[in-house]
Structure 1
Amino acid sequence: MYRCCTIPVNTPLSQCLKQNKARRRFEHVPDQLIINMAKALVTPTKEEGFDDVLVVKPEGTTANLANTNSLSRG
């Protein structure tokens, strides 16, 4: 039987905006679009049918990986 896992990356809005500004002129998207998407973002849950939800946080934030106990299961 297969397991269904999701790995959302929890990047802070400020970092998303900073990375967007660093992109080449024609490759960036409007800041307001990123802000709107961040407001609408909902972290997936096991109740949605996932066996595991592993939330990855970038370096420099509180934790680099949450729910690491899920990684040890087969």
Structure 2
Amino acid sequence: MLMLISSLIERFSGASYALPVNTRVNVVNQFGNERYDGRVLKVEGNRARVCWPKGVKTDEYLSDLVPIDEDVRFQ
């Protein structure tokens, strides 16, 4: 039921987060938990399953995830 309500709120609020699978991400949430260099395994609704170094897997809100730009070019 909560997934239905959160997806409706997301749909009508205009906030959409597009993170494809296998995107590299960092996370910082309101409680100060920081994680670096994770990979998105699966996206369901407004949550993503992320694999962190050393095999730790967590569920994170998409709004807390920050994609890492892998296409950085130095001149």
Give the TM-score category using the shorter length.
under 0.3
Higher strand share: 2
Higher helix share: 1
Q: TM-score, normalised by structure 2?
A: 0.24
Q: TM-score, normalised by structure 1?
A: 0.24
Higher relative contact order (CA 8 A, sep 6+): 1
Larger Rg: 1 or 2?
A: 1
